[in-house]
Amino acid sequence: MTTAKPVDVNGNAIEGHSHDDHHHEHPDGPFIAHHFETAEQQFDSGKLGMWLFLVQEILFFSGLFVAYIIYRNHNPEIFEAAHVHLDKWLGGLNTLVLLFSSLTMAWAVRCSQLEQHLGAVINIVITMVCANIFLGVKAIEYTHKWELGLFWASAYTYGQPQGDHPPYLLWISAPFIICTLVSTMLAIYFRVTASDFWFKFFLCMAISFSGYFGGLGIAWAMPSAEHADHGSAHGEVHASADPGHNASGENHEDDDHNGQPSDEHAKDEHAKDEHAKDEHAGDEHAGDEHAGESTHDQQKQEVNMGGFFSIYYIMTGLHAIHIIAGIIALTWLLYRVLALHFRKNYFGPVENVGLYWHLVDLIWIYLFPMMYLIH
């Protein structure tokens, strides 16, 4: 550690009268706290603190990885049967979106280190747009599964006739719609009242939130979303009947609502399940005299398929919560960057939020092959 400056700068001030730290600016700048001696000490402390927080995050997620690995090892057939409901193209798209947001985040750190304020703002806004795109894609993935009854273990109703379901996508999009509208209106308001700073801030926020709808649009427009994947996974029988599904993006919405195609899927899925189950049961409960076995076992199979989705939802859900937390942290950064707080010897917050953001990316880098690329 570099030799510190004498403490007296503050010490003298204390003997005067006031203990309010904000009255006495630190020699290294307004954002250096009184109990640090140099800006570098504060930076090192903040960074070490963030690393420790990331250590904590890794251990936090490690519990989920344990659950995943144990379930996958002991029930590989369930994972193979269930993963066909995940669309690796949407997952891959989201991976690219997050990787790109990592790039812009790293770039934002570079910009704030070099005091390139405009560059920092642009990069942070791009990062937030990417985060919202990610959530938009995720919303499509989630709601599509819910409409098919692909819930976690206790609510798993796939293959059973789905009644009227609530408008999941509307519910899940509501906060984003509100945020976008409010940001836009505030931006307009501050434009009118000529409050330049807040106009810029809310304009950036509105742009960021609109990324969510971009995500929805991309996921809708993806040519192979959901159904094509079903086709390939269901093998030859189904493949011939499939082209209709591949034809265009607009069909998807109808598919989900008119019920008929998904029933078809369900039937297929059933056939497959039953086949797998028969083999399984044959191995393990050869002499089981239980009369109602087949119905019991069939239900058990479905519950266990839900087991996969339990893990899927808890892992991706917690990851999505981290993305939302990241958006909040980035909003804070956006405010501070616009207010020109950062300088050559004070850019710790950007760097630390960046570290957090990269960790969120890092977790997704593992989640993607673990969830979407199973064979």
Partner 1 sequence: MSIAKQREKLFGHAPETNFLTESKGWASWLCTLDHKRIGIMYLIGVMGAFCLAGIFALILRIELFTPGQMFLGNQTYNRMFTLHGAIMVFVFIIPSIPAALGNFVLPVMLGAKDVAFPRLNLASFYLWMGGTFFFIVSMVSNALDTGWTFYTPYSVQTSTAVIAATTGVFILGFSSIFTGLNFIVTVNTMRPPGMTWFKMPLMLWALYSTAIIQVLATPVLAITGLLLMAERIIGLGIFDPALGGDPVLFQHFFWFYSHPAVYIMILPAMGIISELIAVHAQKKIFGYDFIAYSSIAIALLSFLVWGHHMFTSGQSEMVIVIFSALTFSVAIPSAVKVFNWVATLYKGSIALTTPMCYALSFIFLFGIGGLTGLPLGTLSTDIHLHDTYFVVAHFHYVMVGGTLIAFLGGLFHWWPKMFGRMYNERGGQWGALLVFVGFNVTFFPQFIMGSRGMPRRYARYDPEYQIFHQLSTIGAIILGIGLLIAGYVLITSLYRGKRAPGNPWGAATLEFQCCSPPTFHNFEHDVIVNDPYDYSSIEFDEKVDGYVPVEPAPAEESAPNPLPAETT
Partner 2 sequence: MSHNSQHSEDHAYFSHPMPVWMMLAVFVALVSLTVLTVIMSELTEALMIGQWELWVSMGIATVKALLVIFFFMHVLYDKSFNRLMFFSSFLFAALFIALTLLDSYQYQDDISSFPVSERPDRLVGGQ
Helices (H), the chain: 8-16, 39-74, 76-82, 88-113, 117-147, 168-192, 196-221, 227-234, 236-239, 243-246, 251-258, 260-284, 293-338, 348-372
Of 276 and 314, which has the nearer Cβ to partner 1? 314
Is-contact 221 189, C-beta < 8 A?
A: no
Restricting to residues 199-258, name those near partner 1 by CB under 8 A: none
Interface with partner 1: number of residues (CB under 8 A): 47
Of 63 and 223, which has the nearer Cβ to partner 1? 63
User: In the chain, what is the straight-line distance between the N-terminal and C-terminal CA atoms, in Å?
Assistant: 52
d(CA 71, CA 346): 46
Binding of residue 5 to partner 2 (CB under 8 A):
no
Binding of residue 310 to partner 2 (CB under 8 A):
no
> Which residues, at least 6 apart from 189, have a Cβ–Cβ distance to it below 8 Å?
none
Of 169 and 222, which has the nearer Cβ to partner 2? 222
Of 45 and 116, which has the nearer Cβ to partner 1? 45
Contact partner, 325, from partner 1, partner 2, none, Cβ < 5-8 Å per class = none
d(CA 108, CA 74): 44
Helix, strand, or coil here: 165?
coil
Helix, strand, or coil here: 26?
strand
Binding of residue 39 to partner 2 (CB under 8 A):
yes
Interface map 253-292 toward partner 1 (x if CB under 8 A)? ----------------------------------------
> Which residues, at least 6 apart from 47, have a Cβ–Cβ distance to it below 8 Å?
348, 351, 352, 355
**CA 217 → CA 52, 265, 314, distances in Å?**
38, 25, 25
Among 82, 84, 90, 95, binds partner 2 (CB under 8 A): 95
Tracing tokens 């106009």 back to the chain, one arrives at 199
Is-contact 150 231, C-beta < 8 A?
A: no
Contact partner, 152, from partner 2, partner 1, none, Cβ < 5-8 Å per class = partner 1
Binding site for partner 1 (CB under 8 A): 1, 3-4, 6-7, 10-11, 14, 19, 33-36, 41, 44-45, 48-49, 52-53, 55-57, 59-64, 66-67, 70-71, 75, 152-155, 300, 303-304, 306-307, 310-311, 314, 318
Binding site for partner 2 (CB under 8 A): 28, 38-40, 43-44, 47-48, 51-52, 54-55, 58-59, 62-63, 65-66, 69-70, 73-74, 88-89, 92, 95-96, 99-100, 102-103, 105-107, 109-110, 113-114, 153-154, 284-285, 288-290, 293, 296-297, 299-300, 302-303, 344-345, 347, 351, 354-355, 358-359, 361-362, 365-366, 368-370, 373-375
